[in-house]
């Protein structure tokens, strides 16, 4: 094993070939937008990102490819920072890589791919949100985001501890129903045994669930749907 210089017997990610960047200070104008960048930002998302950057600052560097001059990760953050600064004439520290454009495109997708970032542990998340020291405004979430994630609805722009606890309990009930439906299926990532049904809107979904006398949650048993279809045929 290669040992890091001046670090005793502790190896480093760079020694292992897993730290593929260096940092340097550059002028914003030197960082080109990648013309193929597939990421978009809605007005609401831009507002949240802007509020977060104003509150916390830039806490991780933008990634730039020396080989092409393109930004690899951080297009939206830079765009919002331009707005905050009121100019694109400023200096910042960036993470520099040097790779062919083909690999750059792979990294552009990977760095923004939610499928490679894991999911929320809802119980831990709600536990953090109940922490009196955590301000919801500083997380990028709104009350509606939390309730949508937990399968509920909210009409206000604020969220109380009681709201979070109620939503968390609703999540537990949904999760228990989901586990019951999955039954003996041992393969967690097996998606071959379920289907997605799309309704016109939430009101249509609520009406269907009530009319069919199905459990009020996002996961429905295939047996229940079979029974419902059989009744309709009669």
Percentage of residues in the chain with pLDDT exceeding 90? 40
In order of their start, the domains of the chain are: 22-116 (3.90.1530), 119-186 (no CATH), 195-234 (no CATH)
The kind and range of the H/E element at 214 are none
- Site of tokens 């830079």: 78
Cβ atoms of 95 and 132 closer than 8 Å: no
The pLDDT of 57-66, averaged and rounded, is 97
83: which residues sit within 8 A by CB, 6+ positions away?
50
Distance CA 107, CA 115 (A): 14
Question: What is the side-by-side strand order in the sheet with 91-97?
Answer: 22-27, 91-97, 62-65, 71-73
The predicted-structure confidence for 3-20, as pLDDT tens digits, reads as follows 445 556 778 998 898 999
Say yes or no to pLDDT of 226 above 90. Answer: no
Model confidence band, residue 75 (pLDDT cutoffs 50, 70, 90): very high
pLDDT bucket at 1, cuts 50 / 70 / 90: very low
- The better pLDDT of the pair 100, 204 is held by 100
pLDDT of residue 212: 83
pTM of full prediction above 0.75: no
Question: How far apart are alpha carbons 85 and 83 in whole angstroms?
Answer: 6
Per-residue pLDDT tens over the stretch 108-118: 999 988 888 88
Q: Kindly tell me the sign of the dihedral angle through the C-alpha atoms of 198, 201, 205, 208.
A: negative
Look at residue 183 in the predicted model and tell me its pLDDT: 60
Residue 150 structure tokens: 């937990």
Is pLDDT of 102 > 90? yes
DSSP code of residue 28: G
């Amino acid at each position: 094993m290669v040992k890091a210089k001046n670090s005793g017997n502790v190896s480093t990610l760079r020694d292992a070939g897993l730290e593929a960047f260096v940092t340097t200070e550059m002028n914003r104008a030197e960082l080109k937008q990648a013309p193929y960048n597939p990421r978009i930002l809605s007005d609401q998302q831009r507002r949240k990102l802007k509020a977060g950057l104003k509150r916390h600052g830039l806490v991780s560097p933008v990634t730039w490819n020396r080989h092409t001059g393109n930004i690899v990760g951080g297009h939206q953050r830079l765009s919002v920072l331009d707005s905050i600064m009121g100019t694109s004439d400023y200096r910042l520290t960036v993470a520099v890589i040097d790779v062919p454009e083909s690999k750059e495109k792979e990294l552009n997708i990977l760095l923004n791919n939610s499928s490679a970032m894991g999911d929320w542990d809802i119980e831990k998340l709600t536990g953090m949100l109940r922490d009196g020291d955590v301000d919801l405004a500083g997380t990028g979430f709104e009350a509606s985001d939390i309730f949508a994630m937990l399968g509920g609805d909210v009409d206000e722009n604020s969220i109380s501890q009681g709201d979070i606890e109620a939503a968390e309990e609703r999540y537990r009930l949904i999760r228990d129903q989901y586990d019951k439906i999955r039954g003996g299926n041992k393969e967690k990532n097996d998606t071959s045994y379920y289907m997605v049904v799309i309704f016109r809107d939430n009101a249509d979904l609520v009406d269907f669930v009530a009319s069919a006398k199905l459990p009020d949650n996002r996961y429905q048993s295939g047996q229940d749907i079979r029974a419902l279809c059989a009744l309709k045929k009669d």
